[in-house]
Structure 1
Amino acid sequence: MESGGAWYGPASPERLGCAAGGGGAAATPGGGPGALSCFRVGQGPATDSPATAPDPRERLGPHPRASAGSGGAPMTHAARPSRYPLYVLFLLTLLNLLDYVDRYIIASVGSLIRRDFVISDARFGLFGTLFFLVYLITAPVFGYLGDRFPRRAVLALGAIVWSLATAGASLAPTYLFLLLSRGLVGIGEASFGTLSPPFLADYFPVRQRARVMAVFYVTLPAGAALAYLLAGKLGETHGWRFCFMLVGLPGLLLAVPIFFLREPVRGGMEGRETDPAPGLMPGGDEDFSYRKRISHVVASYRELIRSRSYLYTNLGYAALTFAIGGMAFWMPRYLETIKGVSFEESNRLTGSIVALCGFFGTLAGGFAGDLVMRWTRRAYLLLSGLGVLAAIPFALGAIFSPERRVYAPCLGAAIFFLFVNTGLLNAVIVSVSPPRLRSTAVAANIVIIHILGDAPSPYLIGQVSDLSSLQGGILLAVAAMLVSGLLLLWGSRWLPGDLERVAGKSLGSRG
């Protein structure tokens, strides 16, 4: 269903970035850093390079189609495959790395903060819970705006807000001040977390999205690891305040090139151009009242929930986030109190294991998902569910074994299998959602996984720790893994049909 109002006019292939040919040149190692060189960029169904979207108020024509060998003009310079998508992916991935370093820095210096402010485990766990409560409350607002206005400015503003809040936390004189600063960080990161996946989805075709999301979200283990390693190296010598200042400032620099990114055409990689969602567009053909706006938002969420694979992906993702968020927040403390590891060594061990195993698990899942999709359209959720279930015995080994030569490899294997899911699940979220509702879909995903996942898990594990033992609290995360794996396997039944439904709507809306 396309949004109302026939406000289209002619548009040139050059302005929309459509290519005359169907093939894209392979990216060379010089075209992008590291893992980015594996992509053949811009091979969308109807365009070889992503389109740069004009202002949403500008009248646009139907998405043009041209094919080499069918009487079309020769490929011009403007129509050649572009490496610009790799630049966008690199820039957003770098900012996402800072996002996750910022998110996990509070856990990595937890012992130092408790030493300064003399707080219980439950009050310390409130740092993580408040962050995610603010994050999930503001995410739907950014999802609503992201489906209606250019996204690059909001992405840049979010980076500025969370960077200033993190740097300002280094000056916190009291526990309450530091707690409030983490709430502000949640606002800034909500804008970036909501808008960046749909932004990338409009630069890359469906068949590449598991890999793209794997590269983008490989920053989750890398950022968490960097936070732990940073705290281990600099926390004791320079203090936790120095760590907050060091993490906060680089985001201000990256906000500048983010602001000047080209806005891609919504739905361009599905072979069409999609209107921004109605409800708040200035200069539109309809005057949306407040009641109509609310009605449209409710209808949008109903449309998303009708997708069974979207629904089960969100529920399984929430249980997985409960497990990962709780373990990541408490693992340094667990190694110190239960395994008898020093503060510096616990951060070093956690950081190195998460960096190595989480990094390769994320990439392996993304690339394996795109490969297995050639044989079954259930691949993304099948691999996700099996990965979570495979992590359970290794997690139990890491919890109960007293010997480092056993619990360290077990922890690494558990993290590898848990992070196999990252690119796969995010690819499902953006691929089974209509292009005009992708920011809303990601926002709903953020609300669900955090309100049921890592918003309550740090506090609940802390409460169990205060009442019994931290080991008992960590076992809550293992139970969540079992729930997650079963939900994802069950949801895979509907994935092929939901993918076909979105593709059918795209084809039906052309021409």
Structure 2
Amino acid sequence: MFWKKSPSAVLATLLTIHLLAHIDRNMLLGFSPQIIKALAINNAQYGFLVGAVWVLSFGVMAMLMGTLADRFSRTRIIAAGVLIWSACTWASGHAQSFEQMAIARFFVASGEAALVPAAVGLLSELFSEKRRGTAMGLFFMGIPLGIGCSFLLAGTFGATHGWRTTFYALGVTGVAIALPLALLKEERGQLAPQERGAPALQQVLAVLSLVRGHRALRFTITGFVLTHIAFAGLSFTPLWLVNERGMDAAGIATRIGALQLLFGTLGALAGGVLSDRAARKLPGGRATFMALLVVICAPFVIAYRLAPAGSPLFYIGMCVGFFLPLALYGPANAAITGMTPQKMRSTVSGFTMLCINVFAIAIGTVAVGAATDYLIANGTTAPLTRVLLTTDALAMASALFFALAARAACARPAIGMQPVQTTR
């Protein structure tokens, strides 16, 4: 396993794969008008393709893939995932109906579910505790970079060659990455039983027992899930900007995309680096850092909803809103892995992703839409502003859970970790 001697190269490779994953994931958004027309689908069907299909597959499969990554070769788990989602991205380009596209996107999500749990487990092994937040933050830069690149690719290569050819090209690119990745050996089968994850059902039960019995871990995961309610609100932000803030619909998508690309990337990098430094100085470590970060950012996020559209405070709040969620990815994942035995880290990561997708994104998005419709039916003024302020408040409430996690961490050290060799 010579490749483990170059953790920076492993991180760069995982970031590249994560970038590709989010390009493939969000390409449907970049081509939404063309795909809706070509497949003759309605808005509800399109919403199912970009929402429910993803949550149903990605959320559930993430935990299953996490159990496999704790037990078997993580490089080959990732390679299999890349191969599956790339082949199905290619198949998406051939879809001629809603049903065909739904099946293809279901398996794209299933393949992508293998990446994050395996990558988080691998990075937590290769990078020491004092550098783990930075490594996680760099890896999760793939989210804003992938979102931005997907729209950029749709507007350049896609505008010239069409959406189907773009999906073909992405599929071929992914397969080309997956094949050499599968050749990297990681002999997990030679580890002692106590150093490997248990079979799937036993592993899931063990993880649930760990989360239930470890207050700091439970509070950290709860806080991290709560922050993702901001993403539920983000789905309705363009509608809010047009209907209640009087902004021009034509330039909103480009403006949001550019700001999210810039400040989301900055957030992922800064959050990871700063949390590594703060973890050594603050009581409660990364949990305290996250609580303070949310408290500092909260006034700007709330002001964004209330300030006059186009004012400096309005744009500052918008940028902070893009910065904050990504800034928490590095410290949150580093904190969670630091409180988890090595043989459970990928499964815990998958469990966290399951909770995020089900409770924050799926249920959260439906709740935002239903609450908005209810307020409109009752003649409420600025209904979206009221609902989005509520989602912001819930996301900012994560500070309370991070603070509780910090308090619990001070009373109880990280549990169950075997000493691991790190190269950095």
Q: TM-score range by the shorter chain?
A: 0.7 to 0.9
Per the alignment, residue 388 of structure 1 pairs with: 294
Which of structures 1 and 2 has the bigger CA Rg?
Answer: 1
1:149 is aligned with what amino acid?
F
CA contact (8 A) 1:129 1:454 kept: no
Question: For this pair of structures, how many residues does the alignment match?
Answer: 409
Q: CA deviation at 1:192?
A: 1.0
Residues 255 and 126 of structure 1, relative CA distance in 2, 3 Å threshold: closer
| 1:95 equivalent in alignment to 2:2 | no
Take 1:323 and 1:367, find their aligned partners in 2: how far apart are those partners? 23
The alignment status of 1:164 with 2:87, answered yes or no, reads yes
- Within 5 Å, give how 1:72-87 maps onto structure 2: 82=5, 84-87=6-9
Question: Cα deviations across residues 428-486 of structure 1 (Å, max 9, x unaligned)?
Answer: 12111101111221121122222111233334434455553655554453133123222
- 222-231 or 189-198, which deviates more: 222-231
Structure 1 residues 412 and 247, CA gap change in structure 2 (3 angstroms):
farther
Which AA in structure 1 matches 2:216?
Answer: S
In structure 2, C-alpha distance between the alignment counterparts of 1:436 and 1:454, rounded to whole Å: 28
- C-alpha change, 1:472 and 1:379, in structure 2 (3 Å) is same
Go from structure 1 to structure 2 and tell me whether the alpha carbon gap of 1:296 and 1:223 turns closer, same or farther (over 3 Å shift): closer
Deviation at 1:254, TM superposition (A): 1.6
Matches within 5 A, 1:381-420: 381-401=287-307, 403-406=309-312, 407-420=314-327
Q: Secondary structure at the match of 1:501?
A: coil
Distance change >3 Å, CA 471–CA 125, structure 1 → 2: farther
| 2-structure distance, mates of 1:204, 1:299 | 25
Question: How far apart, in 2, do the equivalents of 1:164 and 1:350 lie?
Answer: 30
Structure 1 unmatched ranges of 5 or more: 1-14, 18-48, 51-81, 280-292
Cα distance in 1 for residues equivalent to 2:10 and 2:67: 22
Conserved? CA contact 1:309–1:491, under 8 Å: yes
Q: 1:302 aligns with which of 209, 217, 228?
A: 209
Query: Which stretch shows the higher mean deviation, 168-177 or 205-214?
Result: 168-177
Is the counterpart of residue 454 in structure 1 residue 361 in structure 2? yes
- CA gap of 1:371–1:294, structure 2 versus 1, over 3 A, is closer
Shift of 1:369: 0.9
Instruction: Name which of 201, 211, 215 aligns with 2:134.
Output: 211
* TM-score normalized with structure 1 length: 0.71
Q: Distance in 2 between matches of 1:354 and 1:262?
A: 37
Counterpart of 1:321 in structure 2 is 228
Distance 1:213 1:368, change over 3 A: same
Aligned partner of 1:373 in structure 2 is 279
AA aligned opposite 1:354: Q
1:107 to 22, 29, 35: 29
Deviations 1:160-214 (A, max 9, x none): 1112222322333233332332221210011112211101112111111101101
Return 227-236 or 420-429, whichever deviates more.
227-236
Alignment deviations for residues 11-51 of structure 1 (CA, whole Å, 9 cap, x no partner): xxxx8x8xxxxxxxxxxxxxxxxxxxxxxxxxxxxxxx95x
Partner of 1:489: 403
- The residue number in structure 2 matching 1:442 is 349
Change (3 A) 1:135 1:428: same
Compute the RMSD of aligned alpha carbons.
Answer: 3.2
Which of 200-209 and 489-498 deviates more? 489-498
- On the 8 A contact 1:164/1:248 being kept in 2, the answer is yes
Between the aligned partners of 1:315 and 1:89, the Cα distance in structure 2 is: 27
Q: 1:262 Cα deviation (Å)?
A: 4.2
- Give distance in 2, aligned partners of 1:311 and 1:86: 30
Structure 1 residues 462 and 172, CA gap change in structure 2 (3 angstroms) = farther
Conserved? CA contact 1:163–1:251, under 8 Å: yes
- TM-superposed deviation, 1:397: 3.8
CA pair 107-490 structure 1, distance change in 2 beyond 3 A: farther
Closer/same/farther in 2, CA of residues 362 and 295 from structure 1, 3 Å limit: closer
CA contact (8 A) 1:104 1:329 kept: no
* Structure 2 equivalent of residue 43 of structure 1: none
Q: 2 CA distance for matches of 1:237 and 1:340?
A: 30
**How high is the TM-score relative to the length of structure 2?**
0.84
Q: What residue in structure 1 maps to residue 392 of structure 2?
A: 478
After superposition, the Cα gap between the structure-2 partners of 1:416 and 1:133, relative to the gap in structure 1 and judged at 3 Å, is: same
Q: Give the whole-Å Cα distance in 1 for the aligned partners of 2:411 and 2:187.
A: 27
**Identity across the alignment (%):** 23
Q: Give distance in 2, aligned partners of 1:465 and 1:249.
A: 42
Alignment of 1:176-255 (within 5 A): 176-233=99-156, 239-255=162-178
- Distance verdict in 2 for CA 1:248–1:364, change over 3 Å: same
Q: 1:273 Cα shift?
A: 11
- 1:11-22 correspondence runs (5 A): none
Name the amino acid aligned to 2:322.
I
Asked if 2 retains the 8 angstrom alpha-carbon contact of 1:125 and 1:459, the reply is no
Cα shift at 1:500? 4.0
The aligned counterpart of 2:380 is none
Name stretches of at least 5 consecutive residues in structure 2 with no aligned partner: 377-382
Q: Matches of 2:170 and 2:276 in 1, distance apart?
A: 34
Given the superposition, is the C-alpha separation of residues 258 and 322 from structure 1 closer, same or farther in structure 2, using an over 3 Å criterion?
farther
Partner amino acid, structure 1, of 2:259: I
Q: Deviations over 1:315-361 (max 9, x none)?
A: 1111112212x244444555565554344x33321221112111111
